[in-house]
Structure 1
Amino acid sequence: MNSASEQKSFLQMRNLTELEGRKKHIYSLLSFLIVVVLTLALYLVPDYYFLEKMTNETVFRMLELYQFEIEVAPLYNEIEYGNSLFIVISNLLSSLDGHGGNTPVIKSITASRQFAIVRACTGMQAGALLMALIIVTPAPAGKKIKASIYSLLALIIGNFLRIALVIAMTITIDVTYGATYDAAWFWAHDVLGKPIGFFGTILFAIIIERQGVPILNTVSLWLDSFIDFLKFLADKVFGSKSS
């Protein structure tokens, strides 16, 4: 049974990479659109308050373990101001959740700063994207479930470490080196935190690949189809000029 399942999985992967011409372009376009829609839906629609709270509590304990002077602060309301479609949709969904858009906060006593653990701090941007890629990539259902579980567990644990590190670095740069909060946050969150998140996403993709779900094949097909599209445009533009 195992060999038959593995052979089927291999054939699915091979068929995906061997798509050519119109079939490749149709699959690339449809799968890309589905991934975009699923990513937005998986990130915006579910109420991740349980994950925000779990992240807050875990990071709080980690910072306490390293003797940072912190305390629990009043909840922060993550309703945003603005007229963009994304903000309007996000605010609408936040208003429909069971906690009114309120989210837990960690306060640094020494730095007199507060850190709200909002939806974006849960790591579910990457999680939603990876889950969407798993869904559209041809593979046995069992392997997809296994890949989803392993990657989500790794993502949640890795995100705990990332958030704790970013907050710790912000406090340290602020207090020890006398930097302004904006500068401390920039160095900790943007310079340090974002690259960690980027390489973490690559690691999670590798975990998924190791479970037999070739999401990188799907991404490579997108890139290949995009290059084909650029070549098509170049032929149309420069070919017509030369003629």
Structure 2
Amino acid sequence: MSYVSWYPNTSRDRLNFFLKTFPAFIVLMFFLYFVLDWLGAFEFLEVLVRDNSVWLLDSIFGMDTSEFSIRFFERIDPDPLTNSNVYFGTPYFPGLRLGTYPRTLLIIRACTGMEAGALLMTLIFITPAKWQNKAVAHVTNLLMMHVGNTFRVAFHFWFTEYLYKLWGDADKAFFWAHDMLSKVFGFVGIVIFTLVIERTGVRIVSTFGAWIDAMVDGFQRITWRIQGKAFYLDKVVFYEESTTEGSVPTRVEKITSKNFYPKEEIESNKWSFFRRTFSTFAGISLVIIGIGLIPAVNRVIGMTTDNIAVSFGAIQTGAGSYNTFWWKSTFQLLNADNAFITNVISSGVLLFALMMALLYVTPGKKLNKGIALGLTPVIIFPLNFLRLGVQKWATWSVATGNIKDMRPLLYENVADIVTTWFPFFFWILLFVGLMLIYRALKVRAFSMMWIWLHQLIVTLGWVVGLRDKPGELEDSKAAVTSIGSE
């Protein structure tokens, strides 16, 4: 981590720096990458990358470019939901067809290098530095980005052709040349570009480092807050001796607050609390997860959610057992990748098992824990049934609708939302909702999770050398005391 004169040294300064620069970073990134693309600013770069890549293939890679077809092509993507294609129509994209490789290779926004370029440009904008240094950094970044990215794309073209001649498999050749090696080179390029920008006097690494330090400070503040909140109210019964001779002791009930955060254990690297609670948590979770391996359970959940989807209007084409344990449902037009498999995860059994085990090991008042344990399945399963039914219907609706022909790019984005992001955010929101309910019941389940995370992070800090181990710290203190006494 490079430290410079403007680097925020105190926790308050780092927080202010983060609040001032990080939102600006997000806004500028969005503008440079999405708004400029919407305005058509990347079309020139797409053509430039294609033409310069062809020149490199001819002059450096030794390919006969006279066999190439260099022009604008219609973008045709495999349909993410069905067994057909998505045709984008006009405007066409700059691309080329190589001499042997049978597929058309298009240059789209991601091929221009502007993903990394926008990131570095934004960091240059928000990093404190002289405007002269920033100007040099911007020019250097743009030149390096275009030259380096053009070499990367040219290599991708050449290596795709080479692997296709070697293997005869177009998909495999593209995967290894583009998805694997070409993207690795892109990552290495970003590292090199960052180091060069640092040499211009714009310390973008320090900006990133200040954000990390601010996040670490935030983690510490959250930990302190959770430590103070990790308590539960419990009834303590004791007997007070009466001052009157011969009288019976008085029974007294008192509500006390018990804090269960093992701060001393964590700081001294003692894992007794972690081992005791997490082993119990893991054991209970595995037992309950076994419910999700019962075929009848998955069949009931699958059929119930199928009926919900059909009631909304979806057309189901099949259903049956899948891999012994799971339940598989298929709907009109959807391809095999979009068949709905009801398993231990999608059924909600996994989350149910984790929450029940977490509640069991969390110290708390028995009545409150009992209520939380009873509410958990009542909340998880009905909501997940509805989610599965809606997702099946929504996926079918997108696949069979007219949006693919009218707005192909929007179709691909919506398909991604209903198949990936909708269930992702559902589970996140459901988890957050459960944590809030447990908090209202004074069952500090989140505190228990934070204890485990805190233990792991502190120990990891000792392993990588970011923190002194307790024994080493005590030895150093003893040495200082000894020197002082002498």
Give the TM-score normalised by the residue count of structure 2: 0.41
Over residues 72-116 of structure 1, what are the superposed CA-to-partner deviations in whole Å (9 max), with x where a residue is unaligned?
14433499999xxxxxxxxxxxxxxxxx64321111131111110
Match of 1:226 among 190, 212, 215: 215
Q: Distance in 2 between matches of 1:157 and 1:140?
A: 26
Query: Is the CA contact (8 Å cut-off) linking 1:105 and 1:115 kept in structure 2?
Result: yes
Displacement over 4 Å in runs of 4+: 77-82
Q: Which amino acid aligns with 1:193?
A: S
**Secondary structure of 1:115's partner?**
strand
When residues 36 and 160 of structure 1 are mapped into structure 2, their CA distance, relative to the original with a 3 A threshold, is same
Query: Is the CA contact (8 Å cut-off) linking 2:94 and 2:106 kept in structure 1?
Result: yes
Q: 1:192: which partner in 2?
A: 181
Q: 2:157: which partner in 1?
A: 167
Query: Is the CA contact (8 Å cut-off) linking 1:78 and 1:103 kept in structure 2?
Result: no
Over residues 44-71 of structure 1, what are the superposed CA-to-partner deviations in whole Å (9 max), with x where a residue is unaligned?
2221111111111011122233225422
How far residue 224 of structure 1 moved from its aligned partner, in angstroms, is 0.8
**Secondary structure of 2:100's partner?**
coil
Q: 2:93: which partner in 1?
A: 103
Query: Is the CA contact (8 Å cut-off) linking 1:73 and 1:114 kept in structure 2?
Result: no
Q: How does 1:1-243 map to 2 (within 5 A)?
A: 13-15=4-6, 17-46=7-36, 47-65=41-59, 66-68=62-64, 69-77=67-75, 101-178=91-168, 180-241=169-230, 243=259
Query: Is the CA contact (8 Å cut-off) linking 1:146 and 1:211 kept in structure 2?
Result: yes
**Secondary structure of 2:96's partner?**
strand
How far residue 117 of structure 1 moved from its aligned partner, in angstroms, is 0.7
How far residue 166 of structure 1 moved from its aligned partner, in angstroms, is 1.1
Of the structure 1 ranges 197-206 and 68-77, higher mean CA displacement relative to structure 2 is found in 68-77
How far residue 234 of structure 1 moved from its aligned partner, in angstroms, is 2.4
Query: Is the CA contact (8 Å cut-off) linking 1:29 and 1:222 kept in structure 2?
Result: no
Query: Is the CA contact (8 Å cut-off) linking 2:148 and 2:189 kept in structure 1?
Result: yes
When residues 81 and 13 of structure 1 are mapped into structure 2, their CA distance, relative to the original with a 3 A threshold, is farther
Q: Distance in 2 between matches of 1:163 and 1:151?
A: 18
Which structure is higher in helix share? Answer: 1
Of the structure 1 ranges 202-211 and 232-241, higher mean CA displacement relative to structure 2 is found in 232-241
Please tell me the root mean square deviation across aligned C-alpha atoms, in Å. Answer: 2.6
Over residues 136-178 of structure 1, what are the superposed CA-to-partner deviations in whole Å (9 max), with x where a residue is unaligned?
1110001100011011101100001000111211111112222
Q: Distance in 2 between matches of 1:53 and 1:80?
A: 24
Q: Distance in 1 between matches of 2:211 and 2:42?
A: 30
Q: Which amino acid aligns with 1:67?
A: M
Q: Distance in 2 between matches of 1:148 and 1:212?
A: 12
**Secondary structure of 2:202's partner?**
coil
Query: Is the CA contact (8 Å cut-off) linking 2:50 and 2:94 kept in structure 1?
Result: yes
Q: Distance in 2 between matches of 1:26 and 1:211?
A: 26
| Higher RCO (C-alpha under 8 Å, 6+ residues apart) | 1
- % identical equivalent positions: 32
Q: Which entry has the higher C-alpha Rg, 1 or 2?
A: 2
Structure 1, unaligned stretches of length 5 or more? 1-11, 83-99
Give the TM-score normalised by the residue count of structure 1: 0.80
Over residues 106-141 of structure 1, what are the superposed CA-to-partner deviations in whole Å (9 max), with x where a residue is unaligned?
111311111101111110111111111111111000
- Number of equivalenced pairs: 215
Q: Which amino acid aligns with 2:49?
A: T
Q: Distance in 2 between matches of 1:24 and 1:101?
A: 46
Q: Distance in 2 between matches of 1:131 and 1:227?
A: 25
Query: Is the CA contact (8 Å cut-off) linking 2:21 and 2:126 kept in structure 1?
Result: yes
Q: Distance in 2 between matches of 1:79 and 1:207?
A: 37
